[in-house]
Structure 1
Amino acid sequence: MGRWSRGRSKTAVVPPGARGGTGLPALIQPQLATLVGRPPKGGDWSYEIKFDGYRVMTRIEGGAATIFTRNGHDWTERMPRLAEACKALHVDDAWLDGEAVVLDSNGQPDFNALQNAFDRRSTAEIVMFVFDILWLNGTDLREQPLRARRALLRELMAEQTSDVIRFSEDFPQDPVSLVASACKMKLEGIIGKRGDAPYQSGRSPAWIKLKCTTRQEFVVGGFTRAKGTRSGVHSLLLGVYEKDGSLRYAGSVRPYFSTRATSAFLSRAEPVRREATAFYNPPKPEKERDYLWLDPSIVVECSFLEWTPGGEVRHPIFHAVREDKPASAVSEEPMVAVEGDEPVEADAGSTREVPGPKGALRIGNVRISNPQRVMDPVTGHTKREMVEYYAAIAEWALPHLHNRPLALVRAPEGIKGELFFQKHSERATIPGIEELPTELHPRHPPLLVANSAEALVGLAQMSVVELHTWNAVAPDLAHPDRVIFDLDPDPALPWSVMLEAVALLKVVLDELGLRSFPKTSGGKGFHVIVPLTRRQGWSETKAFSHAVARHMARVVPQRFSAVLGPKNRVGKIFIDYLRNSRGASTVAAFSVRARSGMGVSMPVSWDEIREVSRGDEWTMRTAIERQRSLKADPWPDYWQTRQGITAAMRRAVGMN
């Protein structure tokens, strides 16, 4: 066992050519499989059981193991026995990809038993089948072919004795026979993987799934119960999101809940009750049933015979409520055709560039893959439009980005799919992006900066929608050069209240002697930026911004709140001062937002504030038009402003 730990031997056994990493990644998004109707006829494919459980990514470092769901939620405390077994592996650091399952008396995965284990908080019977290793002892293995990663994983698993962690075997039989056997054993299906392919976060054609039954997630848009009763659940009303963001009714299913499960479901449903249906095509009411509508936030998994021509499921069977998948990502799962040895096309979730047709779009030196991908189903905005916007806005955006550490919001499947927050390059090379020296942010992977138009185009090619930046500029990351106040309103408030609020904040800042500059957030409200000379540290600037927020809440309590949380801003505007901490970030000027409409955060002058009609007033097209038509800079003297936080200012807002 000692061969795996550098503390026990001189070298770790890794494939030839594997490269050293720049630091163990904080999070790795899993590779996802593409649904196909039949297996490829040839090619370098291997096949494994499709386990009926929860996908888990395990990070091991410094004798500690952290278990993440596919969406990056930390579930370590929910599976302590599994975490202990992972800690016992003789490695310095590692990333493992696997599936958490509970096995029945026949040794087969039982999803209901897994769900019950979590419900009872009795997870000792959970085991993890590990099928991939992405990192080992300081070495990034993701660019290595699957067969090399699997060989390394097989050796590692052979040297551990715990029955809690098991190697997921692959099978030599032809896939048609394997699917038939899996179905006979009442398994969910099989997974096919290309042996020569690297690991690709996101959905990829290098992994395929062949299912025994049609099975997927649905959003619960409501439920029914017997007419006139006040408890119980008769059926769940299922929905899937369409490309335009609307929710389609897709049929109903009887869940056959136990008393305990009924109580748990109703506890989740009660806070998201609504008066009107969220379906654009709600079901025709039955006289003997009451219909209770819900905000579409609860996700369940069902199998069914087929889709009807009308878009509903035929003969559905309820399996479980899913806690590990977001409602916003639930749509009718498409089946990709297979021609010869490969699926016809790559899914938008892949983060690797896929070879495209001759004459594919290029902007500068950056090749744009999947330019026709719809990023916002409501407006129809495509990836091409977003890339072209960032290329066109670069001359105005770059001064606000120069040498500022970035935090990125990626939408590989469009803004209605899963969104990923990223602060480091991970393994992908982004054209034009620079990495700051690690000594500027010790004990962390290198921070990213975008200092060129190529960098903005490269980010957009990687489906980065939002650009967030620190309140400090390299190389001096110890002293912020600005304070930002984010006005976050109760959504029920009229826009006139927001205009009044931002004007009141300006009055207070003016009285303190601080010049300020507003911009729309691209979402619900305004950001007010106060530039500073870099004299104060992070603790001083955050304390001051908090004091300003508290001062506003004391002076105008009916309008402002300085306490985080929706319940504290009912009928009010929360002055978000928390963006002034080291490592915190705020959406940058001219950034697109990952929200319906894809609004843009736009700098405006104080004189034109009253003319702004909403926080997402500017779109990608109108933002470019505005900048090209401006006769004067809306932020005159912003770059020349020299001011600091004085003792008199601190006293004025009630600081000691």
Structure 2
Amino acid sequence: MKPMLLSPAIDLPPEEGWLFETKYDGFRCLLVWEQKTPQLLSRNEKILNKQFPEIISFCETIYPTIKSLLPIVLDGELVYLLNNHHSDFKQVQLRGRMKTISVISKHAASFPCHLVVFDLLKKEGTSLSNEHLLIRKKELKTLFNSLHLPVTLNYGNNARLQMIVSENNSKKLWEKVQSYNGEGVIAKRETSIWEGGRRTNNWLKIKNYRYVSVCLTKYDQKNGYFHGSIFKIDQLVDVVIFKHGLSKEEEKTLQNFFKTNGEKGSDTTWELEPSICVKVACIDFDGKQLREPHFHTFNFEIEPSECTWEAMLRQLHPLPQSIAVTNPEKPIWPKHSINKDDYLLYLQKVSPYLLPFLKERLLTVIRYPHGATDEHFYQKHRPDYAPSFIDTELVEDINYIVCNKIDTLLWLGNQLALEFHIPFQTRTTANPTEIVFDLDPPSVNEFSLAIEAALQMKAIFDQFNLVSFVKTSGGKGLQLYIPLPENQFSYQETRLFTQFVCDFLCEQQPNWFTTERLKKNRGNKLYLDYIQHDEGKTIIAPYSPAEVI
């Protein structure tokens, strides 16, 4: 079996009768499930079971539930999700090249992939290929519901099989894809049947291209490709090789320009000092080259020196249209030459990791209107001038901001909120969702005390079979996190545990550790803080920028 193929399109179809899905960047894959262990088949019919063991092991765990419905064939995409609309192709590509089982297993633990499913081709051995797409989608949702699998995609969900949601509102979906820097949108005709191995106009792919400015540096007559470069720390670095997208006239003009003004590098190549800038359309950057590049336009408005690594990163991560940035060049961390635009780019790139900690939490931010080295203030209330897309929750006369979306995060970033503080519970839970121990040494010179305390606490946690995580805190300390089952333990119950652990460590090492709250009475000991873990109190979120700088 070979997957049904997509036809490229420039625009989303305007007429009715279409379904729209997020396009993910990964390996197209069929899941053919006949026995306990299914097969993952690539578009070239290569078996991928060895490369993606986390998918296979997950399938085997649900085999008792699904076995009566076999044989089943699902169509989907193997992806490493960064958010609900964007996946990282590099991780999937890297996995596909791995050969050693131990290396694959280690990568699967660090970068677990999903099979995001969008079609059902066979159920109980009966082919559904000739049914209309709407019918197949309905059957797919029924199947996933019966298996208690997610019918809406959630990148934080550990279920390795998830269903892609189709939408009727193409404009709304396109805005989401652009906001989250996704690859594009797929349009499928509602009445389309599944035609394996064929490329038809019933399934269309519309790419979310980004446009990067480069200066042309080389032309190779042998293959017809032009080389584009950018400046990285005053050194020219090749980032793209392209020839598609040029008209015949544009291609001939560039060829003549290189041959007339360039320096001959070999029998078939000419090299040129940076002088001509062009915009290249692409879908991503793989660390060495722009992916799927093609010529877009000449860019006569900039100088070659403006084609820089920093400019490329910003062009690869355009801000959502909903975000109006003020004073992007404003210095935020002058010592590190970091301005507001740099900060917003950081928030975009870290959002897959930061947003899950902020999700559904009543947010308190610390704003630094004149930069990180100047005055600051706490803010809990949603200001009156906040845009309509900012979600809020009214609690005891405070209209808290709830930061579930990247648009909200970037708006707060533009307001120069440099610290994000969150309570220990979500707005839908009455009890803490994690325990946090704060290990505060007297100075950075005693950081080894924090390490020692963390190791001793880990030994205690292991005795109770508790999973814990460590993170840095401020400039000199550590914090230990223990996730909790939702609404199972009260603050009073967690206090008994946190106090026991801290008192035990102080009894074991009284010269190293203390629970004394007054700094002047601690001497040169590390402070074990369990008082802060309480209802109504907040803690700085992991990946919060002030924790990074």
Taking structure 2 as the reference length, what is the TM-score of the superposition? 0.40
Taking structure 1 as the reference length, what is the TM-score of the superposition? 0.34
- Name the one with the larger helix percent: 2
